[in-house]
Amino acid sequence: MSEIEKITGNNPEAKSLDITQQNIEQLKQLFPDVFSEGKIDFEALKAVLGEEIDNSEERYNFTWNGKTKARQIAQTPSTGTLRPCQEESVNWDATENLFIEGDNLEVLKLLQKSYHKKVKMIYIDPPYNTGKDFVYKDDFHDNIQNYLEQTGQVDNEGNKLSTNSDTSGRYHSAWLNMIYPRLRLAKNLLKDDGVIFISIDENEVKNLKQVCDEIYGEDNFIGEIIWRKRKGGGNDSQFLAIDHEYILIYAKNKDAQHSKWRVPYEGEYLTRYKNSDKNGSFYWDTLHRGGLQSPIIYDVECPDGTIIKNGTWQISQTSFNIKKEQGLVRIIKNKNEEWSVQHKVYQPAGKVQRSIYEAFTNTDSSNELKDIFSKDKYFDTPKPTGLLKMLLNLSNVNGDDIVLDFFAGSSSFADAVLQRNLSDNINTKFIMVQIPEKIDHKHRAFTDGLKTVSEISLARIKKAIKNINESYGVKFFKLDKTNIRPWDADFDNLELVLQPGADHTRSFFTRYL
């Protein structure tokens, strides 16, 4: 019989990455002299950091009730596991796309080992804290058990999923305690040139901005897109008809964003680029420019020997001569039989995205859902795939990049990724996470046989695969308690422990992902 490896509760195999311990190890490498008998000497650390320490009593600090606990929750390793559900997956052996059903806090912890610094782009559309939103109550001591209870998978003893009513005395605090640890964990997954986009409305945009400034750094704030989500309506509003939402954008490291952010040109703009050569699509434009404050003036000789005297041009004479030799300039007669000096203008890679975006609305996204399910829209405010494809283009997601959405909802983001993969002939991989929030029995989705939001999310992905390209796929996992039983050295009957230990599986997660 082979020797059985003892796995205790503290063994790395029995839990997710210990972020606190990882940070301590990094601190040891940077400042080994601030450790005494294995503990951090904070006075020594202050001495090393010198003027970078702020000891003043009056300083700006963004805090709320429960922030310390929220930070602890982010640093507490998960003892959960992700169980593969191959029978509910699509093209299991051929795909690297993941859909994970479970509390995103625990899932983010479990992703730390396999996806640390591997995600190119994150998009999330979290609860907006309108007073009607689903709120998951995290538990510092045993969040896996808490998750199973609150989703009705085990005896809940009265604990239930709830909404964060605006009559609550800690209305904003409850929302901040939910979003804070998730954003901290998400940052660890981003590549150095990674970026996160967060949709939000006016209820929490101010607080979200301050949280992200703290976690990602004010210097890594890229900007804010104002998305016009609807056109018309809102006449029943008491004060203003709110037509827009916000999308906050942060880089993991702004200095690592080496490529310019551009989105493709579309529609009528492209019709002028009717010609093409080895360098791409182009059109011929006149090189002559009048009315310039600092005109470039020189003579140009035409094919018949005619001289265009004192012409005003866009480029210097030296550049003109070089471009002419390269075939980038031509001199032809126009419809008036006059000589025209022209140069090739190539189609640019893209344009700068404006901070106000109006191309797609909630109506578009609702119609998309109706088309997919051939019935009702199921969600009131899904995001249009056109908007999400714009964000994917903007952040330079390409090739085999990995993207993540840990508030999957209707899975619009996964749909957008698959559409873009087909149109651009690329293989971007997605990770989608959704808690199995129960659907009201009066909801149309419930009567259609979909009992949880996660079931709708996965169904949307499967239908998108069927409609876009059936060679695509998705692996389905469920969050559950770990399949590893920690070793108990004090167990009275070791024989009862040895056999399960011999059969234990290290982790489905490391096996399949």
Tens digits of pLDDT across the chain (513 residues): 455 455 555 666 656 677 677 777 777 777 777 676 677 777 767 666 666 666 666 667 788 999 999 999 998 888 899 999 999 999 999 999 999 999 999 999 999 999 999 999 999 999 988 766 555 566 655 566 666 665 665 544 444 455 666 655 577 888 999 999 999 999 999 999 999 999 999 989 999 999 999 999 999 999 999 999 988 776 777 888 889 999 999 999 999 988 788 888 877 788 899 999 999 999 999 998 877 777 899 999 999 999 999 889 999 999 999 999 999 999 999 999 999 999 999 998 788 889 999 989 988 888 888 887 766 666 667 899 999 999 999 999 999 999 999 999 999 999 999 999 999 999 999 999 999 988 877 777 677 777 889 999 999 999 999 999 999 999 999 999 876 655 554 545 545 544 544 444 444 444 455
Q: Are residues 276 and 216 in the same domain?
A: no
Same domain, 288 and 319: yes
Asked if 220 and 250 count as a contact pair (C-beta separation under 8 A), the reply is yes
Beta bridge partners of 344: 284
Are 400 and 311 part of one and the same domain?
no
> Is residue 243 domain-shared with residue 103, that is, in the same domain?
yes
Is position 16 within any domain?
Answer: no
**Same domain as 368, residue 226:** yes
**Do 107 and 207 belong together in one domain?**
yes
Q: Which residues of 191-204 are buried (b: 16+ CB within 10 A; e: fewer)?
A: bebbbbbbbbbebb
Of 325, 346, 367, the residue that ends a domain is 346
Q: In this structure, are 382 and 454 located in the same domain?
A: yes
Per the structure, the complete domain to which residue 313 belongs is given by: 267-346
Q: Is residue 17 part of a domain?
A: no
Regarding whether 243 and 132 lie in a shared domain, the answer is: yes
Q: Looking at the structure, do residues 305 and 411 belong to the same domain, yes or no? A: no
Same domain (yes/no): 251, 302: no
In a domain, 510, yes or no: no
Question: Looking at the domain assignment, is residue 440 inside a domain?
Answer: yes
Place of tokens 């651009």: 424
Residues 403, 469, single domain; the answer is: yes
The reply to whether 257 and 271 lie within a common domain is no
What's the order of all strands across the beta sheet hosting 221-228?
80-84, 475-481, 98-101, 429-434, 402-405, 119-124, 190-200, 244-251, 221-228, 356-357
Number of domains in the chain: 2
The CATH number given to whatever domain includes residue 235 is 3.40.50.150
Backbone angles phi, psi at 507, to 5 degrees: -175, 130
Could you say which of 285, 313, 346 is where a domain stops? 346
DSSP strands (E only) in 220-354: 221-228, 244-251, 275-277, 280-286, 296-301, 307-313, 329-333, 339-346
